[in-house]
């Protein structure tokens, strides 16, 4: 790949030597975690192709789109309304933030005890290793935690960054604030792209993103089958790639994959034997290439059947109402849908506990593993209330806190194996 795309990466000002090293490491990591799995669905070949070309063909597509006049918006969070970006004939892309990369650069500006995700997006950018960030016309931040909102102030010195205010409660005043932020974001996107967002364009974008969500909801529903027709690692990968790939192409391929999974389910065919311990993962989002914990869990003899996460159910559960007639109705519908996301930033947040209980029951989970990144206070603190609630519901629960380093794989494996023994 290096020879094929080297000129493009050079134009994007990547550190070619360090980037080649990163791709080599990630390629081996991907092979060990994904390609060595037995009984994978054939439809996963598309995802393998996307991952193999994620810094290549996909970046070329984006580069060519920019050359034709399109603008590119980078995001880190599911609170940024992708529908508005697409309605302006622009590209929305998830940014690199899932590996321990460039910490020596990030720690020039951030405390060492900053959460791994924040340090990662700083590290990828400052070490010149993320072609997505370097392709962006504007990065969209959001105030989902104190660390992020202060980090964005510094990040703006390196990459133009716009910040959306996300309220931390769900009352009428909070909803009114977010409705204002949605309209302010629409105005900003129109200003950057030079394109006016019409009602027809916005409704078309709403339908496109809803179709992708429906495909992912269908995937999640199929995972209730026993034996599980797809591994948790592969399902996580699908949810991760949803943030990078062209939405229409991605959706068509996931719909075909779901057809295959339904056929496997009808044949009673799975990736693990029937009655394998079934685990629901809950907590912090897992961005590419944060695959450590699913690898540990499934390598310990369990199968992951769902993710209560922003890279999972939180991003796909709710649709934007399509029965809308004018711009105000559409912006109201977008506001309603995004305010339904049960991020740990909200207080109080009983609805998140209800989501976890409901998912555990529907997916027939034998237990819940709650994952939080080190120094991620909202999820780490909220895990105590989640544990209390699931204990009352009789659902076994394990709390794990970790970063992106592979140094703690063995201790994590020991704890997961003990939990599986217990349930």
- The 10s digit of each residue's pLDDT in 352-401 is 999 999 999 999 999 999 999 999 999 999 999 999 999 999 999 999 99
Q: Running DSSP on this structure, what letter comes out for residue 78?
A: T
pTM: 0.96
Residue 134: CB atoms within 10 Å: 18
Q: Which residues of 279-315 are buried (b: 16+ CB within 10 A; e: fewer)?
A: bbbbbbbbbbbbbbbbbbbbebebbbbbbbbbbbbbb
Residue 228: CB atoms within 10 Å: 27
Q: Name the burial class of residue 394, with classes exposed (0-12), middle (13-18) and buried (19+) by CB atoms within 10 angstroms of its CB.
A: exposed
Strands 303-308 and 397-402: unpaired
- The 10s digit of each residue's pLDDT in 136-192 is 999 999 999 999 999 999 999 999 999 999 999 999 999 999 999 999 999 999 999
DSSP H/E element including 280: strand 278-283
Walk me through the domains of the chain, giving residue ranges and CATH numbers: 2-195 (3.40.50.11890)
User: In tens digits, what is the pLDDT along the chain, a chain of 423 residues?
Assistant: 447 999 999 999 999 999 999 999 999 999 999 999 999 999 999 999 999 999 999 999 999 999 999 999 999 999 999 999 999 999 999 998 999 999 999 999 999 999 999 999 999 999 999 999 999 999 999 999 999 999 999 999 999 999 999 999 999 999 999 999 999 999 999 999 999 999 999 999 999 999 999 999 999 999 999 999 999 999 999 999 999 999 999 999 999 999 999 999 999 999 999 999 999 999 999 999 999 999 999 999 999 999 999 999 999 999 999 999 899 999 999 999 999 999 999 999 999 999 999 999 999 999 999 999 999 999 999 999 999 999 999 999 999 999 999 999 999 999 999 999 999
Q: Quick one: pLDDT at residue 1? A: 46
């Amino acid at each position: 790949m290096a020879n094929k795309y080297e000129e493009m990466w050079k134009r994007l000002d990547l550190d070619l030597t360090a980037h080649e090293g990163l791709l080599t490491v990630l390629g081996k990591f991907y092979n060990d975690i994904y390609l060595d799995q037995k009984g994978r669905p054939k439809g996963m070949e598309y995802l393998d192709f996307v991952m193999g070309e994620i810094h290549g063909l996909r970046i070329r597509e984006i580069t060519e789109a920019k050359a034709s006049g399109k603008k590119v918006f980078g995001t880190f969070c599911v609170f940024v309304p992708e529908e508005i970006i697409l309605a302006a004939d622009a590209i929305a892309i998830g940014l690199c933030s899932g590996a321990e990369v460039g910490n020596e650069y990030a720690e020039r500006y951030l405390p060492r005890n900053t959460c791994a995700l924040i340090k990662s997006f700083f590290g990828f950018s400052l070490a010149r290793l993320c072609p997505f960030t370097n392709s962006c016309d504007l990065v969209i931040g959001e105030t989902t935690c104190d660390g992020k909102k202060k980090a964005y102030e510094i990040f703006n010195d390196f990459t133009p960054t716009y910040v959306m205010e996300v309220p931390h409660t769900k009352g009428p005043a909070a909803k009114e604030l977010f409705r204002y932020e949605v309209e302010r974001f629409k105005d900003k996107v129109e200003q950057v792209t030079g394109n006016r967002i019409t009602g027809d364009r916005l409704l078309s974008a709403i339908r496109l993103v809803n179709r992708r969500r429906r495909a992912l909801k269908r995937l999640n529903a199929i995972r209730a089958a026993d034996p599980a027709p797809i591994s948790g690692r592969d399902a996580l990968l699908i949810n991760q790639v949803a943030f990078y790939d062209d939405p229409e192409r991605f959706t068509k391929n996931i719909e075909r994959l779901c057809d295959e999974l339904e056929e496997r389910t009808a044949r009673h065919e799975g990736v693990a034997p029937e009655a394998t311990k079934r685990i629901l993962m809950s907590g912090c989002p897992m961005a590419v290439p944060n695959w450590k914990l699913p690898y540990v869990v499934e390598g310990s003899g369990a199968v992951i059947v769902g993710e209560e996460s922003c890279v999972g159910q939180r991003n796909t559960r709710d649709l934007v109402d399509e029965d809308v007639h004018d711009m105000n109705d559409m912006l109201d519908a977008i506001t309603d849908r995004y305010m339904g996301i049960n991020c740990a930033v909200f207080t109080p947040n009983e609805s998140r506990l209800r989501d976890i209980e409901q998912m555990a029951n529907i997916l027939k989970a034998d237990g819940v593993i709650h994952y939080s990144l080190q120094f991620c206070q909202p999820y780490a603190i909220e895990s105590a209330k989640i544990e209390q609630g699931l204990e009352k519901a009789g659902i076994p629960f394990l709390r794990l806190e970790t970063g992106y380093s592979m140094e703690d794989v063995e201790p994590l494996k020991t704890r997961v194996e003990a939990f599986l023994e217990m349930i």
